[in-house]
Structure 1
Amino acid sequence: MPCPADLHLCLQCRAADFAHDIGYAFGRDRTTVSHACNVVEDRRDDPAFDDFVASVERVLTSVFGAPGGREHE
């Protein structure tokens, strides 16, 4: 079972219009993906959690590229 961070990271590394596909890949609904992203974003107020998520996002971006084929600035 995916945790909210799994769904959030998949969505952040691809694009918002892939919520349905990401939900399907994890056996969840697109609304679950959206809720998971909201949960993670709310927790990013905690500096330690934010640093962790940002680190994982950087790794995923370096491996898979930025959403939409753009590099982060």
Structure 2
Amino acid sequence: MDQGGAGPSSRNYRGTFQEYIAHTFDHNPSGEGERTGQDRFVRALNTGDVWFTRDHYKTFSYLGKGPF
């Protein structure tokens, strides 16, 4: 993301990003793991900028600054 792949607001960002899974999923009691899909919200912790990706970090949509 800091290479600008998520647009100008991410370019040269030197802080930490936090990802959030963008859908609900059921716990799999069989122990095979949980499928989380490709949809993610990503937030720049220092600035509050938020993006959404539907293809697991290949493309992003900038959503604006969150109230976080």
TM-score by length of 1: 0.22
More helix by share: 1
Larger-Rg structure: 2
Q: Which has the higher contact order (CA 8 A, sep 6+)?
A: 1
TM-score by length of 2: 0.23
